[in-house]
Structure 1
């Protein structure tokens, strides 16, 4: 089982490691559902932690529909994170009608090579997240999908998450959405995936 803690500073990341997290997703501005963190924080996390660090690539809050200029900005960010030694990033892009922006995702994933790429919870905006997983399988470099099955919580989205897992092939489905150290055992019993994400996945960090 993989426990992934969502953190926005070094103190939280260190505490997550102490409390048994297997990896962290490093974000800035969790009040905006996560933006690209400060590069200094990324450097410090890579040098001071002994677990896998994933880094959010998201240039602004709001929706996941990006202009060409914003995509280019994200590619620049990806190149800088690669230079820092980041091994995995988290990103997502949609069209105005809530479909996957396949050209943008393909371009971003190509820029990330050889880093791994997790597609974030933007997939939950789709009418059919299961079909979204099938589409992501065709994009080289996409190795994970973070999802609550199109619902507000993983508990509500159990059936869809399990269908996404069945459709995922080699892509890792990471269940998210109010999963905590208090309900993790229950969710493990109900979900077929073995990767779980949350701010409280290993308990309180502040």
Structure 2
């Protein structure tokens, strides 16, 4: 595992937040709309405005609607179109997750979307924390979907600290092949403590470099 924190990824939804996050030391953004509903796909206008004002890497959320992560065929089609759009804009990466009716990660759909997204960085988001067995689905991603580069997760628990034991296990398995982006109430105040517990070099949060106000 890495001996230092390499990525501080700020979860953001406005241009002002993006600019402030970069200024305060974030070196990657997860750009969303509607964070009140845990983040939906950002608009073209928001993406253009952010890309014009920041120099750090941007990951775009691909999530067509609030609620869970079980999508209709039309919603999956919308996700495909959004991924293609972000790819055309030269965005660094995309973040998405899809589950099945029996509450596991939908590996075939995730694989198809990830293949479409390449060569962008592909991250499966916290949908993995809502499934029946977070560890089992992480292993499935690791072994079956090499197109996925990272997983955003709190280890199946409400917070990263609660999920620290599993997050460390995931980090050890994933290595460089499937990176663990630690999420779940991660802030500039607790990131060092979490790094000692977990060992992943990548962390994510709305307050990762402090409150963006």
8 Å Cα contact 2:195/2:201 also seen in 1: yes
- Once the two structures are TM-superposed, the CA of residue 75 in structure 1 deviates from its matched residue by 0.2
CA deviation string 1:158-193 (max 9, x = no partner): 001111112214111011100111111111111121
- CA deviation string 1:36-91 (max 9, x = no partner): 00111111222221111100000000010011111111001111111111120000
Cα distance in 1 between the residues matched to 2:114 and 2:191:
31
Contact residue 129 and residue 164 of structure 1 kept, 8 A: no
Structure scoring higher RCO (CA < 8 A, sep ≥ 6) equals 2
Q: Could you say which residue in structure 2 is the equivalent of 1:142?
A: 148
Q: 1:158 aligns with which of 135, 154, 164?
A: 164
Cα contact 1:110–1:140 (8 A) shared by 2: no
Query: 2:28, 2:43 → 1: CA distance?
Result: 19
Selected match of 2:192 from 166, 185, 206? 185
Contact kept in structure 1, 2:171 and 2:198, CA below 8 Å: no
Counterpart pick for 2:130 among 125, 130, 133: 125
Q: What is the DSSP-based 3-state SS (H/G/I as helix, E as strand, rest coil) of the residue aligned with 2:59? A: strand
List, as ranges, runs of 4+ consecutive aligned residues in structure 1 with deviation greater than 4 Å. none
Q: C-alpha deviations, 1:113-135, integer Å up to 9, x for none?
A: 11111000000012321221211
Instruction: Find 2:88's aligned residue among 61, 83, 90.
Output: 83
Q: Does 1:203 align with 2:210?
A: yes
Q: Give 1:173's match in structure 2, choosing from 180, 192, 198.
A: 180
- Match of 1:142, SS state, is coil
Contact 1:130–1:167 (CA<8 Å) still a contact in 2? no
Across the two proteins, how many residue pairs are aligned to each other?
A: 206
Give the TM-score, by structure 1 length. Answer: 0.97
Conservation of the 8 A alpha-carbon contact between 2:64 and 2:79: yes
Normalised to the residue count of structure 2, the TM-score between the two structures is 0.94
Contact 1:6/1:24, CA 8 A, preserved across alignment: yes
Q: List runs of 5+ in structure 1 lacking aligned partners.
A: none
Q: 1:71 aligns with which of 66, 76, 97?
A: 76
